[in-house]
Amino acid sequence: MKKLLVTTALAGLMVTGSANAQTTITGELRINYGAAAADQSSTNAKSQRGFGAEQQLNVQTKGKLNVGGIDYAAGFAIENDGEQSTTLFNENTYMDFIMGNTTLSLSRDHIQRSDTDRSNAVLLGYSPNDLNSQSGFSSAGAPTRFQQSPGPQVGQNFSFALLQKTEIGTFSAAYTPTATEVSGIRTTASTQSSNNNSERPGEGNGSAESAYEIGFTGSLGVKGLDVYAFKGQEKLRSGYATKADILNTGIKYTMGDITAGYTFKEYNDASTSTRTENKEHHYGLGYAVNKDVTVALLMADAKGNADTIKEKAKSIQLGYNLGPVGMVAGYGISDNIAGVSTADSKEVFVRFIGAF
């Protein structure tokens, strides 16, 4: 009888929810247009143009538990990147238990993390990876060296995470016990591919192991300063020679209308053979013309340990706040894409962002 009562109580909770909960639905729509023109001397790049779009709906709820005065927040996102063929339910899924400045998070793609296009030099939205991925370069085994989701990708897999807010910033520690499908337990496997240009961890790499990541974001108590640092590593996979790991650091400082930023990334994807370490340097400078208009410059280079030349990306970007809609437009130059000297391209781009 006791077991029956417990089961009935849980079923009732799942059906009725909590009277104290506050649920909201928000969303975002992005429409992009880009055109890339390959240099005439380029044999590994092509000219192309076209539209792209992203739609996202966020379902979020928050309230209080009936024990200990603990706050909670939970939610998920439904996101479609272009004409997406994979699941739409793998973004920002979380259940947070909040005790003052301490949060325990059971989540995916939610907490502060390194395995995104995070960069303190990208001031208006178009990253080096965005630019060089738009270039039209495609060659098997030679992807752009600017990666969106490199390393162990802890944040892209379901993890246990602990966050601690302090006066100087927020410290975090996350652990994913496995990224492999487990019978009867719904998880998602992580792709360790040197050509991972998606925020999604991918599907079906059954050899993925547990991984951790520690991090910090904050101002260090200095007005106008924004710094971050993340370090993560995956356990060595069976039959593999090297571990997936990442170091991602950035600093940004705003003084009046001027902002300057720098980012350094060093990472390695799991490999069955030799270590394929990759390093990125990003430099950004922005100027707020007025409250609605900002101009930014971006310069970046990346190099794998087996490359003889650096891949480079440069751009000038204009951001315009149109009230309910934001716009970013610009011009970019990509050189030596994927470390190939004959892969150069020039790009123009515009992105409209609407929130609701």
Does residue 70 sit within a domain? yes
- Beta bridge partners, 347, equal 36, 332
- Beta bridge partners, 177, equal none
CA-angle at 213, arms to 100 and 93, nearest 5°: 65
Does residue 18 sit within a domain? no
Residue range of the domain that includes 348: 30-355
pLDDT tens across the length of the chain (356 residues) = 444 444 444 444 444 455 556 899 999 999 988 888 876 565 556 677 888 888 999 999 999 998 888 999 999 999 888 777 777 887 899 999 999 999 999 999 999 999 888 999 999 988 998 887 777 665 544 567 888 888 888 988 899 999 999 999 999 999 998 764 443 443 333 333 333 333 333 333 446 789 999 999 999 999 999 999 999 999 988 888 888 899 999 999 999 999 999 999 999 888 877 777 899 999 999 999 999 999 999 999 999 888 889 999 999 999 999 988 999 999 999 888 888 887 888 889 999 999 88
Domain count, the chain: 1
Does residue 94 sit within a domain? yes
Does residue 16 sit within a domain? no
Does residue 288 sit within a domain? yes
CA-angle at 101, arms to 98 and 102, nearest 5°: 55
The C-alpha atoms of residue 234 and residue 79 are separated, in whole angstroms, by: 27
pTM: 0.84
Does residue 22 sit within a domain? no
Taking Cα atoms as reference points, which of 301, 286, 356 lies closest to residue 333? 301
Does residue 337 sit within a domain? yes
Question: What is the domain-level CATH number for residue 42?
Answer: 2.40.160.10
The C-alpha atoms of residue 159 and residue 153 are separated, in whole angstroms, by: 11
> In angstroms, how far is the first alpha carbon of the chain from the final one?
49
- Is 271 in contact with 242 (CB distance < 8 Å)? yes
The C-alpha atoms of residue 93 and residue 109 are separated, in whole angstroms, by: 7
Region of 23 please: left (phi>0), alpha (psi -120 to 50) or beta: beta
Does residue 9 sit within a domain? no
- Beta bridge partners, 185, equal 182
